Chain A
Amino acid sequence: MPEEENSDLVSLTIDGVEVQVSEDSTVIEAAEKAGVVVPHYCYHPGIPTRPAQCRVCLVEVEGQDKLQPSCKLPVQDGMEVHTDSDDAELARKSVIEFLLVNHPLDCPICDAAGQCMLQDYAFETGQLQSRLNEEKLVMGRDRIADDILYFADRCIICTRCVRFMREVAQDDSLVVAQRGDRAYIDTFPDEDLDNPFQGNIVDVCPVGALVHEDYLFKARAWDMDKTPSICPGCSNGCNVTLDTKENQIVRLKPRYNGEVNSYWMCDYGRKHLVMGNRGVRTEVPLVRQGGELEPMDWSDALAAVGERLGGIEGGSAVVSPDACNESLHYFRRLLDTLGVPADAGSYRVEQGEEHTLPGFPKLTLREDRAANGTGADLFGFRRVESWPEPEPGAPLFVLQETLREAPESYAEDASFFLYLGSHLSPAARRADAVLPVTTFAEMAGTFTNHEGRVQRFQKALQPPGIARPAWMVLSGLLARSGDGSPVLDAADAFGEMTDERPEMAVLNWGRVGLKGQTLDSGAGAEAGAGAR
């Protein structure tokens, strides 16, 4: 989708609706602006070339004898376009009939059913009976990457996948082999697709020809709830949609954000989150009494922890770079209240190899494999390679860091060990109090990405047991000692944070919206589309 640049505007009429678009756009983009849906397969706004080969987007333009492919046709001033004229509709219907000649029509067992453009447009044309008397061509299926299957029969050779790999990922390993009705997508002999961004070819496929093996037969498109979120895999902060079913994350899909990830995301991010479904979760508050961790309800646990915190002065803290801004804010406030020195808080970020998507360099799988390292920096936590051994006999406070890689004897001698976390690792079992908190998928909040863009994520899953968001737990603890009142809503937590932090004063919950807002933006400069 072209951004509104400084080029001149031209006005044209599409199905009687007059629109003004920049002169370097095409008719299909103008139609989108006019609110007219032109069916299309080979055209994808994120892929530069427009081969106009699917022929589904043909429209009638007044003054031109032949129908024109709207995805490739540049706009002209005063153009009059009809997408619903008899000729255009007949052409579309005929093209779709041809696409269905060899299509197996196996929608009942196809994972794309319900989100398939061929299904949608074929249904729209209203032709319920096939006129084909011949046998259909059967080609079977193929594995074109570790985790991607290709169903050649379903493929309509729109070449979106080939062009994505060639032009956006800049990797020539996917080709169209053979010709005519025998054409299929393939890699070179003895070579598999091996690219950190190859998962996107499944997203761009308008039909069910390319399928992720992880998702194969897992769920139907209409079974899933979709929640806008942020990928927690690295510090790039790609906008994603979490597809959930029965309180489990089934898959991640990229969500368009022209400033962060365009239409794409990396494979690491896709796979990373499925791990969130596993592991031993903390479900109820546990407070150590007489040597044993005793389960309690929230009010008893907060009272018991508050009592223990009363006699504490100083200590050290460890936070996870996966904690959201709001939780870090209240954690910092709690540490300040307890007199923990400002430099005694640390966080550690797992490192990995960096991969950049050549066609959209802003989308890079960053070395920092955590969502909110920048946020931890902002709240004054110190970045370390490995956590310093806490001072023997001093208190230790841990926020959401699982301590899975901590040494065996970590925090053995702490005088008081408070653990707020979602998973119970061996080190965490030594805590004097374990307060169960939610993962990012089970709560609302914000992350700050590597370039200081604050982005919101929403609650997609129900938390296990009585776990609560960390900001809710911490504000409750603070309120117990007379510092503010408990915060029950992410927007309120965000509001308190931006009020108290001058460097975050430009942020506004509504303006952060679904597209994010950068910390260095002047008020309103980065207005997120569709503030909510």
Chain B
Amino acid sequence: MPGNVKVVQRPNETSSYVRAALKGMKVTMKHLLDPHTVTQQYPDEKWELSPRMRGTHRMATHEDGRAKCVACGLCPTVCPVNCIKLIPAEDENGERYAAVYEIDEFRCIFCGYCQEVCPVEAIHLGAHYENSEYTRERWVYDLERLCEQDHPFTALWDPADPRSQ
């Protein structure tokens, strides 16, 4: 018999179940009188998320609704799973902007590097977890969809303690 295995000595003859049944009833009665719930009533009651929870992305926008992204190309560069597709272009003012910006949320591992590397604080992960879709294609978020998201941004570090980053 190896090391720390506990061997329970059971009686060989048959024993009464009455004592065990009464023990179970006692627990039931106790909970009847003093209810304490651990089950969360999910669809009615939502989870309270940590501000650092890393969920699906959200793009920050200017006041006029334009994405803050300047198409610098750092997020597709730093992304460890290549889930970001970016094609930069020049807009009518000669500014650089993202003509195509797509994130494949299926491929994403939610590491948060894109948010960390962004020089203009445009792309963020979000504290968000309800993401069901009917088709796989819907999991590729384009720029418009990223801008429409309204869940809170993930805080990658505690704003009160900037050194924590």
Measured CA separation A113–B96 after assembly (Å): 14
Interface centre among B73, B77, B89, B94 (most CB of A within 10 A): B73
Asked if residues A220 and B120 are in contact (CB atoms below 8 Å), the reply is no
Asked if residues B70 and A109 are in contact (CB atoms below 8 Å), the reply is yes
Contact with A along B77-101 (1 / 0, CB 8 A): 1000000000011100011100000
In the A-B complex, the 10 residue pairs with the smallest Cβ-Cβ separation, listed nearest first, are A108-B72, A109-B96, A108-B119, A220-B73, A217-B88, A109-B70, A217-B96, A217-B90, A108-B70, A109-B72
* Contact A216 to B90, CB < 8 A, known contacts A108-B119, A109-B71, A109-B72: yes
Measured CA separation A249–B63 after assembly (Å): 38
Contact with A along B135-153 (1 / 0, CB 8 A): 0000000000000000000
Asked if B74 lies at the interface with its beta carbon under 8 angstroms from chain A, I say: yes
Prevailing SS type, chain B contact patch: loop
Measured CA separation A216–B89 after assembly (Å): 8
Asked if residues B77 and A220 are in contact (CB atoms below 8 Å), the reply is yes
Contact with B along A85-109 (1 / 0, CB 8 A): 0000000000000000000000111
Measured CA separation A113–B120 after assembly (Å): 16
Q: Which residue of B lies closest to A149 (CB)?
A: B94
| B72 / chain A contacts, CB cutoff of 8 Å | 107-109, 113, 220
Asked if residues B77 and A217 are in contact (CB atoms below 8 Å), the reply is no
| A223 / chain B contacts, CB cutoff of 8 Å | 73, 77
Asked if residues B90 and A108 are in contact (CB atoms below 8 Å), the reply is no
Contact with A along B42-78 (1 / 0, CB 8 A): 0000000000000000000000000000111110010
Interface centre among A217, A220, A222, A223 (most CB of B within 10 A): A217
Asked if A141 lies at the interface with its beta carbon under 8 angstroms from chain B, I say: yes
| B70 / chain A contacts, CB cutoff of 8 Å | 108-109
Interface centre among B72, B89, B120 (most CB of A within 10 A): B72
Contact with B along A139-166 (1 / 0, CB 8 A): 0010000000000000000000000000
Cβ-defined partner of B77 (8 Å) among A216, A218, A222: A222
For residue A329, give the distance in angstroms from its CB to the closest CB of chain B.
42
Interface centre among A109, A113, A141 (most CB of B within 10 A): A109
Q: Which residue of A lies closest to B94 (CB)?
A: A141
Contact with A along B96-137 (1 / 0, CB 8 A): 100000000000000000000001100000000000000000
| B120 / chain A contacts, CB cutoff of 8 Å | 108
Q: What are 11 A-B pairs at a CB distance below 8 A? A: A108-B119, A109-B71, A113-B72, A216-B90, A217-B90, A218-B88, A220-B72, A220-B73, A220-B77, A223-B73, A223-B77
Q: Which residue of B lies closest to A109 (CB)?
A: B96
Measured CA separation A61–B136 after assembly (Å): 67
For residue A220, give the distance in angstroms from its CB to the closest CB of chain B.
4
- Chain A residues with a Cβ closer than 8 Å to the other chain, count: 11
Measured CA separation A56–B60 after assembly (Å): 40
For residue B97, give the distance in angstroms from its CB to the closest CB of chain A.
9
| B73 / chain A contacts, CB cutoff of 8 Å | 220, 223
Q: Which residue of A lies closest to B90 (CB)?
A: A217
Measured CA separation A109–B97 after assembly (Å): 9
Measured CA separation A222–B74 after assembly (Å): 10
| A108 / chain B contacts, CB cutoff of 8 Å | 70, 72, 74, 119-120
Q: Which residue of B lies closest to A140 (CB)?
A: B94
Q: Which residue of A lies closest to B120 (CB)?
A: A108
Measured CA separation A223–B72 after assembly (Å): 12
Measured CA separation A43–B95 after assembly (Å): 32
| B119 / chain A contacts, CB cutoff of 8 Å | 107-108
Measured CA separation A407–B27 after assembly (Å): 100
Measured CA separation A218–B73 after assembly (Å): 11
Measured CA separation A109–B98 after assembly (Å): 11
| A113 / chain B contacts, CB cutoff of 8 Å | 72
Measured CA separation A216–B119 after assembly (Å): 20
Measured CA separation A347–B12 after assembly (Å): 104
Asked if residues A217 and B74 are in contact (CB atoms below 8 Å), the reply is no
Q: Which of A232-285 contact B (CB under 8 A)?
A: none
| B77 / chain A contacts, CB cutoff of 8 Å | 220, 222-223
| B94 / chain A contacts, CB cutoff of 8 Å | 141
| B95 / chain A contacts, CB cutoff of 8 Å | 109
Give 5 A-B pairs besides A107-B119, A108-B119, A109-B71 with Cβ atoms closer than 8 angstroms. A108-B72, A108-B120, A113-B72, A141-B94, A216-B90
Measured CA separation A113–B70 after assembly (Å): 14
| B89 / chain A contacts, CB cutoff of 8 Å | 217
Measured CA separation A217–B94 after assembly (Å): 10
Measured CA separation A108–B75 after assembly (Å): 11
For residue B91, give the distance in angstroms from its CB to the closest CB of chain A.
10
For residue A217, give the distance in angstroms from its CB to the closest CB of chain B.
5
For residue B121, give the distance in angstroms from its CB to the closest CB of chain A.
12
For residue A116, give the distance in angstroms from its CB to the closest CB of chain B.
14
Measured CA separation A220–B78 after assembly (Å): 13
Measured CA separation A220–B77 after assembly (Å): 10
| B74 / chain A contacts, CB cutoff of 8 Å | 108
For residue A113, give the distance in angstroms from its CB to the closest CB of chain B.
8
Cβ-defined partner of B71 (8 Å) among A141, A217, A222: A217
| A218 / chain B contacts, CB cutoff of 8 Å | 88
For residue B59, give the distance in angstroms from its CB to the closest CB of chain A.
16
| A217 / chain B contacts, CB cutoff of 8 Å | 71, 88-90, 96
Measured CA separation A182–B119 after assembly (Å): 28
